[in-house]
């Protein structure tokens, strides 16, 4: 699946009021950045960062580790330092 296909599918789910998860926001941020839309990329990235920084979303086992890997990748694509 290409970046454009993935972006279209995630945007379709969002339009249909399907619940996107924080990891989806990171993938949308990276796709938008690569597609030349840094404003939209920043919007999704910040949404994921705020979710992660909420005390209720402290990392747990592999799920938290995986999210942190995606967050680091997204930070790199957007040219940011990884949030702590």
How high is the pLDDT of residue 54? 80
Per DSSP, the chain holds a count of helices (H) and strands (E) of 4, 0
- For 4-57, the pLDDT digits (tens) are 777 787 777 777 666 777 888 898 899 889 889 999 999 999 999 888 888 776
Specify the number of domains making up the chain. 1
**60 has a pLDDT exceeding 60:** no
Question: Which one is predicted more confidently, 67 or 20?
Answer: 67
Q: Would residue 84 count as lying in a domain? A: no
**67 has a pLDDT exceeding 60:** yes
Q: Would residue 35 count as lying in a domain? A: yes
CA distances from 13 to 10, 32, 39, 52 (A): 5, 16, 20, 21
- Domain, as residue range, for 61: 3-78
How high is the pLDDT of residue 80? 92
């Amino acid at each position: 699946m290409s970046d454009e296909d993935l972006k279209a599918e995630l945007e379709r789910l969002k339009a249909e009021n399907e619940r996107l998860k924080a990891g989806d926001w990171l993938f949308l941020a990276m796709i938008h950045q690569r597609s030349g839309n840094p404003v939209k990329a920043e919007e999704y990235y910040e949404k994921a960062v705020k979710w992660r920084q909420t005390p209720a979303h402290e990392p747990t086992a592999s799920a938290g580790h995986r999210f942190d890997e995606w967050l680091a990748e997204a930070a790199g694509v957007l040219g940011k330092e990884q949030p702590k």
